[in-house]
């Protein structure tokens, strides 16, 4: 038994097995994606309802509204559509986050909008997800919007997909129809390099194969969605590169004499331990991790995702924006980067555009050197015949930055491989980038 720190608070710990179990369960973040009206909100509502996570007052509120609108029974999409405009129009505009737990896992669900104009919100919901739950209407099959969402989710690094072929009740539970949708979907995911796809025939409206396996799909031997979510192993996070901490702040330990400097930030890329040799980038100075602290606790190992403060054995200059990285596998320093960009701005992006990027904990001015290529969502081909990215386009872009960035390839490390693009005139976030190469 290795311990992160010494426990001394037993008296205060929760009193039941249930509560204790929950405190130590895994957290899984998943996102629902797909076209508008394919049933995403209804699915989340059904999942929460059948997993017995909705409470009495929430069910009563949904029942009241459903009755007022003349629906029979519960309109479960009302569980997540939380904005006035969403309920009025019956569509989802922005991500809603929902929370539920089973004895084995706690879940954070991002219920994403399906409309093309809200792709930026879908990317928001998918960027922190480990698993994508894709809904496809069995009658209509894959739409352009489904392809767009799956493409964005795959680019964002999601490798685990549950394909929910929904509204199977409206195609008489046809196994042929199911197989045909699955084949179309696999053709897309194969092109995107996604291997882990679990197809599930479903009726979110009636609850078939959502929490419990349905008797109406005797030909299907796979799991219900909740079984899948409880057992899926997300791709291991953080062992691709080795430990890095983008420094957020320098903290000073008060006291007599010379104050100790601590560098605060979140560990990612791999576990970090006291004694690990590190390099500080972009300066390139080297040292050794001395202590890793969280509040009053000293850690013997900090796992990826842990917010810590560290001290170094040597007195070197470290500031916000620097990266402390395990010297054995350090990231690169670059001023020219090539990235896959999702563009969310109404004005197109072209060569010469002057913008700001936030990457890690560093903010730098940037200029667009070239829009290299542009992704055709229907054909999933890169074409080089356009030199601009329009609203919601995805393409490969080369940037030069005013100061050096400390970078990883996005495929190796989501943190130092990602950046957002900010418009200095409006301060709005107008794009997202995933680094492919640099020089």
The residue among 303 and 390 lying less far from another protein, judged by its C-beta, is: 303
Convert residues 304-343 into a mask of x (bound to another protein by CB under 8 A) and - (unbound): xxxx-x----------x-----------------------
Span interacting with another protein, options 21-29, 185-193, 206-214, 369-377, rule CB under 8 A: 21-29
Interaction of residue 432 with another protein, rule CB under 8 A = yes
Residues 362-381 that bind another protein (CB under 8 A): none
Q: How far apart are the C-alpha atoms of 423 and 417, rounded to whole Å?
A: 20
Interaction of residue 239 with another protein, rule CB under 8 A = yes
Of residues 36, 51, 66, 82, which one binds another protein by CB under 8 A? 82
Interaction of residue 428 with another protein, rule CB under 8 A = yes
Q: How far apart are the C-alpha atoms of 375 and 340, rounded to whole Å?
A: 10
Interaction of residue 347 with another protein, rule CB under 8 A = no
Span interacting with another protein, options 30-38, 76-84, 139-147, 346-354, rule CB under 8 A: 76-84
The residue among 125 and 201 lying less far from another protein, judged by its C-beta, is: 125
Interaction of residue 296 with another protein, rule CB under 8 A = yes
The residue among 249 and 316 lying less far from another protein, judged by its C-beta, is: 249
Of residues 303, 372, 400, 437, which one binds another protein by CB under 8 A? 303
Interaction of residue 258 with another protein, rule CB under 8 A = no
Interaction of residue 238 with another protein, rule CB under 8 A = yes
Span interacting with another protein, options 180-188, 190-198, 302-310, 396-404, rule CB under 8 A: 302-310
Interaction of residue 83 with another protein, rule CB under 8 A = yes
> How many residues form the binding site for another protein (CB under 8 A)?
95
In the complex, minimum distance from the CB of residue 235 to another protein, in angstroms, rounded to a whole number: 11
The residue among 172 and 253 lying less far from another protein, judged by its C-beta, is: 253
Interaction of residue 420 with another protein, rule CB under 8 A = yes
In the complex, minimum distance from the CB of residue 391 to another protein, in angstroms, rounded to a whole number: 13
Interaction of residue 70 with another protein, rule CB under 8 A = no
Residues 84-143 that bind another protein (CB under 8 A): 84-85, 87, 93-99, 101, 106, 108, 120-121, 123-124, 127-128
**What does the H/E/C string look like for the chain?**
CCCCCCCCCHHHCCCCHHHHHHHCCEEEEEEEEECCCCCHHHHHHHHHHHCCCCCHHHHHHHHHHHHHCCCCCCCHHHHCCCCHHHHHHCCCCCCEEEEEECCCEEEEEEECCCCHHHHHHHHHHHCCCCEEEEEEECCCCCCHHHHHHHHHHHHCCCCEEEEEEECHHHHCCCHHHHHHHHHHHHHHHHHHCCCEEEEEECECCCCECCCECCCCCCCCCCCCHHHHHHHCCCCCCCCCCCCEEECCEEEEECCCCCCEEEEEEECECCCECCCCEEEEECCCEEEEEEEEEECCEECCCECCCCEEEEEECCCCCCCCCCEEEEHHHCCEEEEEEEEEEEECCCCCEECCCEEEEEECCEEEEEEEEEEEEEEECCCCEEECCCCEECCCCEEEEEEEEEEEEEECCCCCCCCCCEEEEECCCCCCEEEEEEEEEEC
Q: How far apart are the C-alpha atoms of 435 and 416, rounded to whole Å?
A: 9
Of residues 35, 42, 77, 80, which one binds another protein by CB under 8 A? 80
Residues 171-230 that bind another protein (CB under 8 A): none
The residue among 99 and 219 lying less far from another protein, judged by its C-beta, is: 99
Residue linked to tokens 């309802």: 49
The residue among 11 and 72 lying less far from another protein, judged by its C-beta, is: 11
């Amino acid at each position: 038994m290795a311990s992160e720190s010494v426990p001394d608070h037993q008296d205060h710990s929760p009193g039941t097995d249930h509560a204790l179990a929950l405190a130590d369960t895994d957290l899984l973040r998943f996102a629902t994606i797909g076209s508008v009206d394919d049933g995403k909100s209804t699915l989340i509502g059904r999942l929460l309802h059948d997993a017995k996570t909705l409470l009495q007052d929430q069910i009563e509120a949904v029942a009241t509204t459903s009755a007022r609108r003349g629906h029979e029974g519960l309109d479960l999409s009302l569980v997540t559509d939380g904005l006035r405009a969403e309920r009025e129009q019956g569509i989802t505009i922005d991500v809603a986050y929902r929370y539920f737990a089973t004895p084995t896992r706690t879940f954070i669900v991002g219920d994403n909008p399906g409309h093309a104009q809200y792709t930026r919100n879908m990317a928001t919901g998918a960027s922190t997800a480990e698993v994508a739950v894709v809904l496809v209407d069995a009658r209509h099959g894959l739409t352009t919007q489904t392809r767009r969402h799956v493409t964005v989710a795959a680019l964002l690094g999601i490798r685990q997909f549950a394909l929910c072929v929904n509204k199977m009740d409206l195609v008489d539970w046809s196994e042929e129809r199911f197989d045909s949708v699955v084949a179309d979907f696999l053709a897309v995911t194969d092109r995107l390099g996604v291997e882990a796809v679990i197809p599930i025939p479903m009726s979110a409206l009636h609850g078939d194969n959502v929490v419990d396996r349905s008797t109406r799909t005797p030909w299907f031997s796979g799991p219900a969605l909740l079984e899948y979510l409880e057992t899926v192993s997300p791709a291991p996070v953080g062992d691709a590169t080795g430990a890095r901490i983008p420094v957020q702040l320098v903290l000073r330990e008060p006291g007599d004499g010379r104050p100790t400097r601590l560098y605060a930030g979140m560990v990612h890329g791999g576990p970090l331990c006291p004694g690990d040799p590190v390099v500080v980038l972009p300066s390139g100075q080297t040292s050794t991790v001395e202590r890793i602290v969280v509040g009053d606790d000293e850690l013997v190992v900090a796992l990826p995702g842990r917010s810590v403060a560290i001290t170094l054995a040597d007195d070197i200059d470290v500031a916000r924006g620097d990266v402390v990285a395990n010297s054995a596998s350090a990231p690169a320093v670059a001023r020219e980067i090539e990235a896959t960009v999702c563009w969310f701005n109404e004005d197109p992006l072209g060569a010469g555009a002057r913008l700001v990027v936030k990457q890690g904990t560093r903010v730098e001015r940037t200029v667009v050197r070239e829009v290299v290529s542009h992704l055709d969502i229907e054909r999933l081909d890169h074409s080089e015949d356009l030199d601009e990215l329009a609203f919601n386009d995805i393409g490969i872009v080369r940037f030069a930055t005013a100061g050096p960035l400390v970078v990883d390839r996005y495929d190796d490390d989501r943190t130092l491989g990602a950046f957002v693009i900010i418009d200095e005139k409006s301060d709005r976030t107008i794009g997202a980038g995933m680094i492919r190469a640099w020089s």
